[in-house]
A and B are shown apart, each in its own frame.
Chain A
Amino acid sequence: MRERMHTVSHWWNAQSRPVQWAYMVPVVIFILALPVINPPIITTEPYTDFPISLFNAAVFALIAIGLNVVIGQAGLLDLGYVGFFAIGAYTAALLSSPDSELGVRYPWLVIVPIAMLVTMLSGVILGTPTLRLRGDYLAIVTLGFGEIVRLLADNVDPLRGNRGFQNIARPGGDFPDGTPIFSQTDALGFYWLAVIIIVIVLLFMGNLERSRVGRAWIAVREDEDAAELSGVPTYRFKIWAFAIGAAVGGLSGTLFAAQVGYVNNQRFDITTSTLYLAAVVLGGQGNKVGVIVGAFLVSYIPDRFQFEPTYRFLIFGVALIILMIFRPQGLLGMRQHLLAYGRQAYQKLFGAGAAVAPSGLSASSKARGDLAETTPDDHAGTSPRGGGE
């Protein structure tokens, strides 16, 4: 199975950009049309409204894409990502709800950039003191951050705790028959908006990955010390990863707040954060398509099989264990993307080596897997930044 995946991704990467686009456009159109088609077996009805279920999956996918920057690209374990989602949702609430003490009612389109800026700033604020920590310390500190955000929403009076904010702004616009495109009851418009936002964010992320920033992230992920010694300002790029990941989290928060129209302190707990993490790792960290699939599964499966609510989370937990045992790299694990990219360049230069590529790929990926396994021990006493700071 893994080999086949590699063949597919290999074939995909070999296509030119316009050809890739030609394949992608019908796929995106199909995804957009999904709630209208409402296919019989796939649909989540009658348990959950299908467009709403799809919208939730799309928001989840957006979150996973953002978290993937932090975990998959830069290799930083963030367990408090829900905090950014919450900050985005609360920014939207504070700036547009009549319940807010700020007393302003900005339209949604104005809120989005503000919320992204605010979450980006909060990412930098969280990252500045903590990103000097290594691995698991970072994990627990981000977990603490997520909890602090939730507890602030609980305790700080202007954030209204459990009472929450109602009538949060949503984008305007009507269908030809006069019903609003974006409404709380019919998630169709919001679903389309979410998919379009995902496509835009994916384009942005794809370019970012191929840029200097993306290469720096991968260098940090694979070996931070080596990256630092090679002249990559690792700390600064880690903060960038945090900030960009946070901004996407904030964006998804505003999207979510707009659709539901209501925000209170109830859905920003750590369990939610671990579900985000599960989506990223399940799909295959570092692989954008993978994390979208993972997010879709994590969000969709409970909706689809809601007829067995007692055993939902039990099945979910067991499925996570089984999946990780048999595919520890995730459903579509593809950490070798950059290598493949480099190999393409190599092939263009030296043409002849092309035939060796597929076998060379699996061999090198295996070797790299072993390398990744030993890395924590290799850091041993030799690490120059081993925490003495």
Chain B
Amino acid sequence: MPATPQAPDASGERVIASVLDPAVLTPLVVHAQPWINFDVGLLVDRFWANTINGLAYGSVYALIALGYTLVYGVLQLINFAHSEIFVIGVFATYLTFLGLGFQPGALPNLPIAAIILDLILAGVVAMVVAGLAAVGLERVAYRPLRRRNAPRLAFLITAIGASFAIQQVIRIWRGSNPEGTIRLLPPSPVFTIFGAPITNLQIIIILASLAMFVVADQFVNRSRLGRGIRAVAQDPATATLMGVNRERVIMITFAVGGILAGAAALFYLMTIPQGAVYNGGFLLGIKAFTAAVLGGIGNLRGALLGGLILGVAENYGQSLFGGDWRDVVAFVLLVLVLMFRPTGILGESLARSRA
């Protein structure tokens, strides 16, 4: 909550400390530790490592971004609660790990095939749970509004409300501290590109994400159901007249978005095993939405491109300006791209209605 005044921590110790602080004694002096860097050397040094790592991060962004983009294409709606669907996926993954007998902290002593099988199992559980959650979200928060012809902002508010509610349910159920670290597959370098080590995790995540993307892309562009999605995105009224069941298409769209978010959740938890926390979806959700807008919202390939670019650019920015500036780089990049290409890099194609 915003305006809850707290007593400023005016402990005498702090006041003394700030008086003795050289920055206070001699204002506007050049600090020994600059708060922003411009380290081109580091950028060049870590170029390849950053690129590969950024692609792995970006794949996770892209998978979440696909969910935003699909829903936006069909309903012209920013599904703000999508980040919570992702968090549900993260917890589904985590609880599956627990259910399979993995314990926080301990490295599993299993043959590699068994571990991969377990990972796939956890991924499937996460995808199913997140998919169902997304469909449930649509039923509870969006469908009643559609029935009543609510204004567009009302959808945004129910999305925010749903986001709050889901977060709090998870917090009340699992507590507000992050879950313990369960690492099934420790990262280990497999080979190097220009001196940058590439880990097994990075390879798995990038390849698996690309595979998921290709499946999703083919589903939307080739399958019968996908044709329905595109039809509704293009013109809901005409699509309905042509016999497309709009409600069903919307449900499927949410399900697909949820499934992709579930997959993203598995990859995320493989990279950042300490990341299972009730509010962990927030920043990631914003980044993923940024990625979707960057590529051109409503456009599947745009979401992939936007996610990868965002992941890589963040890493470059981190090297260039310092770790604290990572998120700033992401948002500044967004503003810059939209200034020159107001509909994103690839433009809007799934929903040509707003092009």
Contacts and interface: CB of A to CB of B under 8 A. Distances in A.
Interface of A: 52, 55-56, 59-60, 71, 77, 82, 85, 99, 101, 103, 129-130, 132-134, 136-137, 139-141, 143-145, 147-148, 151-152, 154-157, 163-164, 166, 184, 187, 256, 259-262, 267, 270-272, 274-278, 281-282, 285, 299, 302, 310-311, 313-314, 316-321, 324-325, 328-329, 369-370, 372-373, 376-377, 379-381, 386-387, 389
A144 B156 contact: no
B354 A386 contact: yes
A133 B338 contact: yes
The secondary-structure label for the interface of chain A is helix
A317 B330 CA distance: 29
Given A314-B165, A325-B145, A325-B148, 9 more contacts: A56-B2, A59-B3, A144-B330, A157-B35, A166-B10, A267-B3, A317-B168, A373-B149, A386-B355
Contacts of A262: 8
Contacts of B324: 151, 154-155
B286 A377 contact: no
Contacts of B149: 369-370, 373
Nearest to A185: B7
Interface residues of B, number: 73
A194 B31 CA distance: 39
Contact of A148 (B157, B169, B331): B331
B335 A261 contact: no
A382 B151 CA distance: 22
Given A373-B149, A376-B354, A320 B334 contact: no
B8 to A, nearest CB: 3
Contact of A281 (B10, B153, B168): B153
A140 B160 contact: no
A129 B334 CA distance: 12
A348 to B, nearest CB: 31
Contacts of B154: 281, 324, 328-329
20 contacts: A137-B338, A137-B342, A140-B293, A144-B330, A145-B335, A155-B35, A166-B8, A256-B3, A267-B3, A270-B282, A277-B156, A282-B157, A313-B164, A313-B168, A321-B141, A329-B154, A376-B76, A377-B237, A377-B353, A379-B354
B164 A314 contact: yes
Nearest to A75: B153
B106 interface: no
Contacts of A101: 23, 27-28
A170 to B, nearest CB: 13
Contacts, number: 204
A324 B165 contact: no
A324 B172 contact: no
B328 A139 contact: no
A61 to B, nearest CB: 11
B151 A329 contact: yes
Nearest to B14: A163
Contacts of B5: 52, 56, 184, 187, 259-260
A155 B18 CA distance: 18
B144 A325 contact: yes
B242 interface: no
Contact of A136 (B6, B72, B325, B331): B72
A140 B167 CA distance: 21
A152 B152 CA distance: 32
Contacts of A147: 286, 327, 331
Nearest to B279: A271
Contacts of A184: 5
Given A99-B24, A144-B331, A380-B353, A299 B290 contact: no
B161 interface: yes
A277 B286 CA distance: 17
Contact of A377 (B155, B235, B342): B235
9 closest residue pairs by CB, A with B: A320-B161, A317-B164, A328-B150, A317-B165, A262-B8, A144-B331, A56-B3, A314-B168, A328-B154
A144 B335 contact: yes
Interface in B223-261: 235-237
B94 interface: no
Contacts of B18: 99, 163
B168 A372 contact: no
Contacts of B4: 56
Contacts of B325: 151, 155
Q: Which of A145, A313, A321 has the most CB of B within 10 A?
A: A321
B289 A140 contact: yes
B148 A318 contact: no
B297 interface: yes
Contacts of B169: 314
B339 interface: yes
A282 B324 CA distance: 36
Nearest to B26: A101
Q: Which of B36, B297, B328 has the most CB of A within 10 A?
A: B328
Nearest to A314: B168
Contacts of A148: 328, 331-332
A311 B8 contact: no
